[in-house]
C-alpha cells in the first residue's frame, strides 16, 4: 500500500482523555445494576489449613442474605492458565490468607459483609510454609499433592567453570527482591447480569475477556454461547488483572439466582487476595576479562509463587531469558525454581520476571566495571547484543535491537557526561549525590507460546470505519493507537474511526492484553483487515466505474479515480449496500515465534524490548533516605504511534519502578499480610517522582505495524538497578536487596568499611 503516515507518530490528544480526566469514564466499579445482589467472599484468614467442615446455616438466616455458595456449587473447581491448581471456592484446604471459601450474596453490601463472618468453617491448621528455601526441602510440609516445586529448570550453554578459572575478574552475590502490589486505583471489581440474549454477562476489570470466558465456562460447566465477558475501561491492571479475579464468582451468583450481581474488592481485600510480583532470591556469579568482555554468568533463580501457580511458570521463563541482561555471554548456567509457599499468590506484574533478574545482572555489571577500572556505560556498550546476534539460548535475534542506541543516547546526555558536576552539588554535609545507569531487556509477545489475534473492520454508511478488537484499555492507550493506525491504513481522518473493544459478544478474539504486545498484535491484525477492506473497496469501485482495480488511490476519506474523480467512502458504502456486498472484514494475525526451549513455555522470544535508565539520587546519611532527583529513560520504541501515550507509559513505569526500588514492601509475617492499605504500603506520591525525561529510540521493527514494537513494560525494568548503582556512586555502599528502604540504607552506611 502506498499510504502516507499522516496520523501515526502525531501527538493527537487521546480520545479517552477528556472522559477520564473529567471523571465521566465508566469503569466496572461504577456500575450499579438495578436489583443487584452484592457479593462478598468469605476468605480463609489462615495461611494453611485443612477444611473439616463448612456450615452456612447461620449466614443464610441473616437479614438480606439470598444465598451462600461453597465448593459444592462449582462443577469443576480448579482453574489456572498453565496449571489448573486453583479452586474457585476452597474444598479440602486453604493455602493462603486470601483463599475464598464461600460467597455470600445479599441485598446490600452491609448485609453481605455482616453475614460473611457467620459462615462457620472448621479448620485444622497446618504448618504454614513461608520460607521459599525451606519450602524446597524434602522435609517441608506439602502445599500441593505434587510437592512444593511448581517448576524447576536448568539451562546451560558452554562451560562456566572453565571461564571462572580463566577470568580476570569474577563477581558473586546474592540478591533479594520483595513482592510488589499493583496498587491500581481501581481494585478488582465487576458486575454480572443476564443479557437480552440470555447470556450470563460479566463486566469486569480484566486483561483477557476471551480467556476469562473460558475459565468461567470450564469451572461452571457452561457452553461458550451462554457466557459473555465485557471489559470496560480498567482503572489499572499492570498484570494484576491478567487472570481471574471476580469473574467466576459473579457468574456463579447470576447463574444460580438469575439476578444481577456486583462485587468490588476493598483495598484491604485487594492487598490480601490480589496477586503480587514474585519475591525473588537470585544468586549470580559473573566473569569478565580484563578488557571488560563478559565471559560467563552462573545464575540461580528462586521465585516464590505463593499458593498457586497462576502465571508463575511463564514469569519464571522470562526471568531465565533475561538474567544475562541485554548482553552476549558465551557461557551460561541457569538454575531456576518456582516454589509454592503459603505467602500469597504471585503472578504477572509489569516486567514479568525481568525486573528481579535485571536488578542482579545490572548490579553485577557495575561491580565488574569498578573492579576493572572501566566506565560503567562503556562496559555495557562493549557487551550489548546487536541485531542478528545470537541470544541467550543461541536463538537468532531477528527483531530490532536498540539497546546500543539507548545506551549511546544516555552516554551523550549531560546528566551522564557532566555527572561529576551534578554529584558535586551538596546542600548539606549529610547529603550525598550519585548517578547510576542500568540497561534492560524483556521479550514482548508470548514468545514461543502460540498466539494469534483477530481484528474486525466495518465500513459504515457515513464513510467511517468501526474497528472491533478484544484488546482491553487498561490505561495504555490502545484505543488511541488503533485509531491512529486505522486512520493511516484506511486513509481517513481519526474522527471517522470508531473503536469498540473487549466484549466477547461484539468483538473478535484478539488474545490477551499482556506482554507489551497489544499494539503489535492488534495493530498487525488491523493492518491485515485494512488491506482486505481496501481490496474490497477496489473491487466494488472497479465494478461501478469500469476502471481497473489497481487504478484507485485512497486519501482523505475518498477514492480517487484515474479521471480525477473523488468518490467519498460513504458512496462506496452505498455501492456495497446496493450490491449486497458485506461491509465487514476480519484480519487475523499469527504472531511469529520460535521453537521453544524444551520443557519451557514462553522462551525464547523472537521480539525483545530494550531500554536504559539514568538516575540521579540524593542520599541522606543521617536517615538513609534516598530521593530520586532525576531520571532519564531511553526506550527502544521501534516507532512511536502516539507521543503522549508513549511518554505516559514510560513515565508511569518509571514511577512504579521508583516505588519498587525504594519503598514498596508488602509485609507478610507467617503468611499473614500486614500491609493492608496505603497507610502502610507506601507507593510513590507526586513528591517522590522527579522530572522524568523520556528518550525514544525509533529504529523501526520490520514486523511491527508502521515499525512499532512493545513499550508497556520495559520502562520499569532497569529503574531499581539504576538507583542502586546511583546509591553506590553516592555513598559507596552496594545494596543487594530491594526495596532499598531507609533502614537498610542507613544500616549499610553505618557498617561500611
Q: How far is the CB of 239 from ligand MOS (least distance, A)?
A: 3
Which one, 207 or 642, has the nearer CB to ligand MOS?
207
- If one asks whether residue 649 binds ligand MOS (CB under 6 A), the answer comes out as no
Q: What is the DSSP string of 542-591?
A: HHHH---GGG-EEETTEEE-TTS-EEEHHHHHHHHHHHT---EEEEEEEP
Which one, 85 or 242, has the nearer CB to ligand MOS?
242
CA distances from 19 to 235, 465, 466 (A): 13, 22, 20
| Site size toward ligand MOS, by CB under 6 A | 9
Which one, 83 or 653, has the nearer CB to ligand MOS?
653
Which one, 474 or 738, has the nearer CB to ligand MOS?
474
Span of 40-48, 174-182, 243-251, 346-354 interacting with ligand MOS by CB under 6 A:
346-354
* Size (the chain), residues: 753
Q: How far is the CB of 246 from ligand MOS (least distance, A)?
A: 17
Q: Dihedral sign for Cα 495, 496, 498, 499, please.
A: negative
Which one, 36 or 512, has the nearer CB to ligand MOS?
512
Long-range contacts of 727-730 (CB under 8 A, 24+ apart): 727/434, 727/436, 727/617, 727/619, 727/626, 728/366, 728/434, 728/436, 729/419, 729/423, 729/434, 729/435, 729/436, 730/423, 730/432, 730/433, 730/434, 730/617, 730/618, 730/619
123, 184, 340, 352: residue in contact with ligand MOS (rule CB under 6 A): 352
Query: In the range 355-414, which residues lie near ligand MOS by CB under 6 A?
Result: none
Which one, 367 or 514, has the nearer CB to ligand MOS?
514
Q: What is the DSSP string of 314-344?
A: HHHHHHHHHTTTTB--SEEEEEEEEEE-SS-
Which one, 48 or 605, has the nearer CB to ligand MOS?
605
Which one, 254 or 514, has the nearer CB to ligand MOS?
514
Residue pointed to by grid coordinates 471456592: 89
Torsion of CA 80, 84, 89, 93, to 10 degrees: -130
Q: How far is the CB of 362 from ligand MOS (least distance, A)?
A: 20
CA distances from 566 to 490, 547, 569, 583, 735 (A): 15, 14, 9, 20, 66
Span of 99-107, 347-355, 362-370, 575-583 interacting with ligand MOS by CB under 6 A:
347-355
Reduced to 3 states (helix: H, G, I; strand: E, B; else coil), residue 628 is strand
Q: How far is the CB of 351 from ligand MOS (least distance, A)?
A: 7
Which one, 239 or 464, has the nearer CB to ligand MOS?
239
Q: How far is the CB of 238 from ligand MOS (least distance, A)?
A: 6
Q: How far is the CB of 349 from ligand MOS (least distance, A)?
A: 5
Span of 144-152, 344-352, 426-434, 598-606 interacting with ligand MOS by CB under 6 A:
344-352
Q: Dihedral sign for Cα 256, 257, 260, 266, please.
A: negative
Q: How far is the CB of 242 from ligand MOS (least distance, A)?
A: 4
State the DSSP code for 512.
-
Which one, 70 or 513, has the nearer CB to ligand MOS?
513
Give residues with Cβ within 8 angstroms of 550, minimum separation 6: 538
3-state secondary structure 606-620: CEEEEEEEEEEEEEE
State the DSSP code for 664.
-
211, 350, 419, 573: residue in contact with ligand MOS (rule CB under 6 A): 350
Which one, 464 or 710, has the nearer CB to ligand MOS?
710
CA distance 379 to 375: 6
Provide the mask over 301-340, with x wherever binding to ligand MOS is found by CB under 6 A and - wherever it is not: ----------------------------------------
Provide the mask over 233-272, with x wherever binding to ligand MOS is found by CB under 6 A and - wherever it is not: ------x--x------------------------------
Q: Are strands 294-306 and 331-340 parallel, antiparallel or unpaired?
A: parallel
Q: How far is the CB of 317 from ligand MOS (least distance, A)?
A: 12
Q: How far is the CB of 350 from ligand MOS (least distance, A)?
A: 5
At residue 458's C-alpha, the angle toward residues 457 and 460, to 5°, is 150
CA distance 405 to 48: 50
Span of 21-29, 36-44, 349-357, 455-463 interacting with ligand MOS by CB under 6 A:
349-357
Q: Do 741 and 675 form a contact (C-beta atoms < 8 A)?
A: no
- If one asks whether residue 207 binds ligand MOS (CB under 6 A), the answer comes out as yes
Q: How far is the CB of 548 from ligand MOS (least distance, A)?
A: 46
Query: In the range 499-558, which residues lie near ligand MOS by CB under 6 A?
Result: 514-515
Looking from the CA of 593 toward its CB, the CA atoms found within 13 Å total 20
CA distances from 37 to 177, 268, 560, 586, 664 (A): 41, 21, 57, 38, 35
Nearest to 376 by CA among 365, 361, 385: 365
Q: How far is the CB of 713 from ligand MOS (least distance, A)?
A: 6
Span of 85-93, 150-158, 179-187, 342-350 interacting with ligand MOS by CB under 6 A:
342-350
Number of H helices, E strands in the chain: 21, 29
Q: Which residue is nearest to ligand MOS (CB)?
A: 239
Q: Do 673 and 307 form a contact (C-beta atoms < 8 A)?
A: no
Which one, 242 or 701, has the nearer CB to ligand MOS?
242
Q: Do 118 and 58 form a contact (C-beta atoms < 8 A)?
A: yes
Grid cell in block for residue 37: 445482589
- If one asks whether residue 348 binds ligand MOS (CB under 6 A), the answer comes out as yes
349, 552, 610, 660: residue in contact with ligand MOS (rule CB under 6 A): 349
Which one, 167 or 345, has the nearer CB to ligand MOS?
345
Span of 221-229, 343-351, 560-568, 594-602 interacting with ligand MOS by CB under 6 A:
343-351
Q: What are phi and psi of 83, to 5 degrees?
A: -130, 125
Give residues with Cβ within 8 angstroms of 677, minimum separation 6: 267, 268, 271
CA distance 497 to 484: 9
Q: How far is the CB of 449 from ligand MOS (least distance, A)?
A: 12
Which one, 287 or 344, has the nearer CB to ligand MOS?
344
Query: In the range 51-90, which residues lie near ligand MOS by CB under 6 A?
Result: none
Span of 12-20, 132-140, 218-226, 345-353 interacting with ligand MOS by CB under 6 A:
345-353
Give me the residues that bind ligand MOS (CB under 6 A), please: 207, 239, 242, 348-350, 352, 514-515
Amino acid at each position: 500500500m502506498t499510504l502516507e503516515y499522516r496520523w501515526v507518530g502525531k501527538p493527537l490528544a487521546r480520545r479517552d482523555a477528556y472522559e477520564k480526566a473529567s471523571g465521566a469514564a465508566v469503569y466496572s466499579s461504577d456500575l450499579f445494576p438495578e436489583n443487584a445482589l452484592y457479593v462478598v467472599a468469605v476468605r480463609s484468614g489462615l495461611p494453611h489449613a485443612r477444611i473439616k467442615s463448612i456450615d452456612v446455616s447461620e449466614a443464610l438466616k441473616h437479614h438480606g442474605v439470598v444465598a451462600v455458595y461453597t465448593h459444592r456449587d462449582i462443577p469443576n473447581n480448579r482453574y489456572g492458565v498453565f496449571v489448573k491448581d486453583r479452586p474457585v471456592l476452597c474444598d479440602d484446604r486453604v493455602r493462603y490468607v486470601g483463599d475464598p471459601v464461600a460467597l455470600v450474596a445479599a441485598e446490600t453490601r452491609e448485609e453481605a459483609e455482616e453475614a460473611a463472618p457467620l459462615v462457620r468453617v472448621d479448620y485444622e491448621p497446618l504448618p504454614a510454609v513461608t520460607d521459599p528455601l525451606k519450602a524446597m526441602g524434602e522435609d517441608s510440609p506439602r502445599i500441593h499433592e505434587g510437592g512444593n516445586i511448581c517448576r524447576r529448570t536448568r539451562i546451560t550453554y558452554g562451560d562456566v567453570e572453565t571461564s571462572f578459572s580463566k577470568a580476570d575478574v569474577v563477581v558473586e552475590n546474592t540478591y533479594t527482591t520483595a513482592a510488589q502490589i499493583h496498587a491500581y486505583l481501581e481494585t478488582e471489581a465487576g458486575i454480572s447480569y443476564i443479557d437480552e440474549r440470555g447470556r450470563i454477562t460479566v463486566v469486569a476489570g480484566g486483561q483477557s475477556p476471551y480467556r476469562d470466558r473460558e475459565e468461567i465456562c470450564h469451572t461452571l460447566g457452561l457452553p461458550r454461547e451462554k457466557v459473555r465477558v465485557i471489559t470496560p475501561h480498567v482503572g489499572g491492571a499492570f498484570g494484576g488483572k491478567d487472570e481471574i479475579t471476580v469473574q467466576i464468582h459473579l457468574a456463579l451468583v447470576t447463574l444460580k439466582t438469575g439476578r444481577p450481581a456486583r462485587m468490588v474488592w476493598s483495598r484491604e481485600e485487594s492487598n490480601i487476595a490480589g496477586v503480587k510480583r514474585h519475591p525473588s532470591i537470585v544468586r549470580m556469579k559473573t566473569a569478565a576479562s580484563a578488557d571488560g568482555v563478559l565471559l560467563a554468568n552462573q545464575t540461580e533463580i528462586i521465585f516464590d509463587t505463593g499458593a498457586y501457580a497462576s502465571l508463575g511458570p511463564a514469569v519464571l521463563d522470562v526471568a531465565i531469558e533475561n538474567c544475562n541482561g541485554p548482553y552476549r555471554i558465551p557461557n551460561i548456567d541457569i538454575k531456576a525454581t518456582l516454589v509454592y509457599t503459603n505467602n500469597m499468590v504471585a503472578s504477572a506484574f509489569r516486567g514479568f520476571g525481568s525486573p528481579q533478574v535485571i536488578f542482579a545482572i545490572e548490579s553485577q555489571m557495575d561491580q565488574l566495571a569498578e573492579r576493572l577500572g572501566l566506565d560503567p556505560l562503556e562496559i555495557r556498550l562493549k557487551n550489548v547484543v546487536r541485531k542478528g546476534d545470537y541470544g541467550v539460548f543461541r536463538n537468532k535475534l531477528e527483531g530490532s535491537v536498540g539497546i546500543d542506541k539507548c545506551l549511546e543516547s544516555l552516554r551523550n546526555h549531560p546528566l551522564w557526561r557532566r555527572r561529576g558536576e551534578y554529584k558535586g552539588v551538596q546542600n548539606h554535609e549529610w547529603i550525598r549525590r550519585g548517578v547510576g545507569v542500568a540497561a534492560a531487556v524483556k521479550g514482548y509477545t508470548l514468545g514461543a507460546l502460540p498466539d494469534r489475534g483477530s481484528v474486525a473492520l466495518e465500513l459504515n454508511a457515513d464513510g467511517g470505519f468501526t474497528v472491533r478488537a478484544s484488546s482491553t484499555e487498561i490505561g495504555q492507550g490502545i484505543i488511541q493507537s488503533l485509531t491512529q493506525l486505522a486512520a493511516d491504513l484506511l486513509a481517513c481522518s481519526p474522527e471517522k474511526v470508531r473503536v469498540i473493544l473487549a466484549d466477547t459478544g461484539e468483538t473478535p478474539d484478539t488474545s490477551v492484553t499482556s506482554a507489551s504486545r497489544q499494539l503489535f498484535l492488534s495493530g498487525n491484525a488491523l493492518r491485515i483487515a485494512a488491506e482486505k477492506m481496501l481490496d474490497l473497496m477496489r473491487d466494488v469501485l472497479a465494478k461501478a466505474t469500469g476502471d481497473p482495480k489497481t487504478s484507485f488511490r485512497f486519501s482523505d476519506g475518498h477514492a480517487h479515480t484515474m479521471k480525477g474523480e473523488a468518490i467519498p467512502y460513504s458512496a462506496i458504502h452505498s455501492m456495497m449496500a446496493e450490491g449486497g456486498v458485506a461491509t465487514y472484514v476480519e484480519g487475523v494475525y499469527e504472531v511469529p515465534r520460535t521453537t521453544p526451549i524444551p520443557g519451557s513455555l514462553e522462551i525464547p522470544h523472537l521480539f525483545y524490548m530494550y531500554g536504559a535508565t539514568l538516575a540521579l539520587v540524593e542520599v541522606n546519611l543521617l536517615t538513609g533516605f534516598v530521593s530520586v532527583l532525576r531520571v532519564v529513560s531511553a526506550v527502544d520504541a521501534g516507532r512511536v504511534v502516539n507521543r503522549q501515550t508513549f511518554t505516559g507509559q514510560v513515565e508511569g513505569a518509571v514511577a512504579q519502578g521508583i516505588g519498587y526500588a525504594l519503598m514498596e514492601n508488602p509485609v507478610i509475617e507467617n503468611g499473614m499480610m500486614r500491609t493492608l492499605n496505603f497507610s502502610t504500603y507506601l507507593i510513590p506520591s507526586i513528591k517522590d517522582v522527579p522530572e522524568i525525561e523520556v528518550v525514544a529510540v525509533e529504529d523501526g521493527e520490520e514486523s511491527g505495524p508502521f515499525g512499532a514494537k512493545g513499550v508497556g513494560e520495559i520502562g520499569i525494568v532497569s529503574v531499581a538497578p539504576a538507583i542502586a548503582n546511583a546509591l553506590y556512586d553516592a555513598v559507596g555502599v552496594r545494596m543487594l536487596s530491594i526495596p532499598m528502604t531507609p533502614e537498610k540504607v542507613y544500616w549499610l552506611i553505618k557498617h561500611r568499611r
